[in-house]
């Protein structure tokens, strides 16, 4: 019985895989492309020129080692179940069937991120795999909300371009700034505590004064550590995409990069607070000593 169930599972997996679009890098003709590409559009939903423009942007982004691909089709295959669509026929969504198809395609193509667009089903899904492009469910939902207008108005090219730029620029801005925030805040706390302990009383520095000196030292160290942080970020795939000046000036490009940097430095500063877990303030130590004295007095029958 167990062997039969495994055999049926393998057959089902092979059947579903056979119905997936082929990798456009290996089978461009089956994807409606004349040469290896990052875009698969066998039904010509986008059109040749629009697919070429999207592929050009994808190539410039993927030159840094990231793999972002696009799969466009007329309609999803029935192998992935029926969609639970909303009553509003104009609204695009990522249904359960669309999500399953996108996850299967991204695995088959060995991509880091995938944008799936199914025209008749009004499915628009953004999925990621691995850690090169750290997107949460809230991030993908935000992308879906932002592309509603171009999708409803029949401009799928803009929606796909928006999604791939948003993913890459967000990640390339966020990951390095996590390192910057972590080193800056962590070094400030460590240096500030050392200065307060060894020089605070001698120089008459307050806690805020010691923190200010710690911040000065951490900022100076950040200048020298900036190159190292960038090298680490590039090794894990957070490279700056090679875009033209016009592409970098697009509102979505500017906003995505700034949002990624802001969230990255905020999360990094939060991680940089880790030294606080291992430091004991003088006030806390005094409080602990008082608690110990009171406990000893109560055990001997005296009251404090």
3-state SS string for the chain: CHHHHHHHHHHHHHHHHHCCCCCCCCCCHHHCCCCCCCEECCCCCCCHHHHHHHHHHHHHHHCCCCCEEEEEECCCCHHHCCCCCCCCCCCCECCHHHHHHHHHHHHHHCCCEEEEEECCCCEEEEEECCCCCCCCHHHHHHHHHHCHHHHHCCCHHHHHHHHHHHHHHHHHHHHHHHHHHHHHHHHHHHHHHHHHHHCHHHHCCCHHHHHHHHHHHHHHHHHHHHHHHHHHHHHCCCCCCCCCHHHHCCHHHHHHHHHHHHHHHHHHHHHCCHHHHHCCCHHHHHHHHHHHHHHHHHHHCCCC
Regarding pTM above 0.75, the answer is no
Q: What is the pLDDT at residue 106?
A: 93
Reading the block at residue 117, the tokens are 């667009």
Pick the closest to residue 234 from 63, 38, 58, 60 (CA basis): 63
CB-based burial, 176-187: b 16+ in 10 Å, e otherwise: bbbbbbbbbbbb
Residue with tokens 């190159």, as numbered in its chain: 227
Q: What is the pLDDT at residue 280?
A: 59
Q: What is the pLDDT at residue 102?
A: 92
Reading the block at residue 127, the tokens are 């999925």
Q: Domains, the chain, ranges and CATH?
A: 27-167 (3.10.310.50), 170-300 (no CATH)
Q: What is the pLDDT at residue 194?
A: 84
Q: What is the pLDDT at residue 29?
A: 92
Residues in the chain, pLDDT under 70: 1-19, 64, 78-89, 171, 234, 236-248, 250, 252, 279-304
């Amino acid at each position: 019985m167990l062997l039969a169930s495994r055999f049926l599972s393998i057959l089902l997996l092979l059947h579903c895989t056979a119905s997936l679009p082929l990798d456009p890098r290996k089978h461009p003709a089956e994807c409606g492309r004349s040469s290896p590409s990052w875009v698969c559009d066998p039904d010509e939903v986008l059109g040749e020129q629009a697919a070429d423009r999207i592929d050009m942007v994808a190539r410039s982004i993927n030159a840094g080692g990231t793999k972002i691909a696009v799969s466009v089709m007329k309609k999803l295959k029935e192998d992935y179940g029926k969609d639970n669509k909303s009553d509003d026929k104009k609204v695009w969504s990522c249904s359960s069937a669309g999500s399953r198809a996108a996850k299967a395609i991204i695995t088959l193509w060995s991509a880091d991120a995938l944008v799936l667009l199914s025209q008749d089903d009004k499915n628009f899904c953004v999925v990621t795999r691995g850690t090169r492009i750290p997107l949460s469910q809230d991030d993908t939902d935000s992308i879906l909300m932002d592309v509603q207008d171009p999708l409803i108005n029949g401009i799928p090219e803009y929606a796909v371009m928006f999604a791939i730029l948003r993913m890459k620029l967000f990640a390339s801005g966020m990951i390095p700034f996590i390192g910057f925030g972590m080193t800056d805040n962590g070094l400030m706390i460590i240096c500030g505590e050392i200065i307060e302990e060894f020089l605070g009383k001698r120089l008459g520095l307050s806690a805020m004064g010691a923190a200010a000196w710690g911040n000065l030292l951490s900022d100076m160290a950040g200048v020298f550590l900036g190159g190292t942080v960038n090298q680490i970020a590039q090794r894990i795939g957070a490279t700056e995409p090679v875009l033209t000046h016009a592409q970098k000036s697009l509102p979505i490009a500017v906003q995505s990069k700034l949002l990624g940097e802001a969230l990255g430095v905020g999360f990094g500063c939060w991680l940089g607070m880790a030294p606080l877990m291992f430091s004991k303030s003088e006030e806390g130590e005094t409080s602990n000593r008082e608690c110990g004295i009171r406990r000893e007095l109560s055990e001997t029958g005296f009251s404090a």
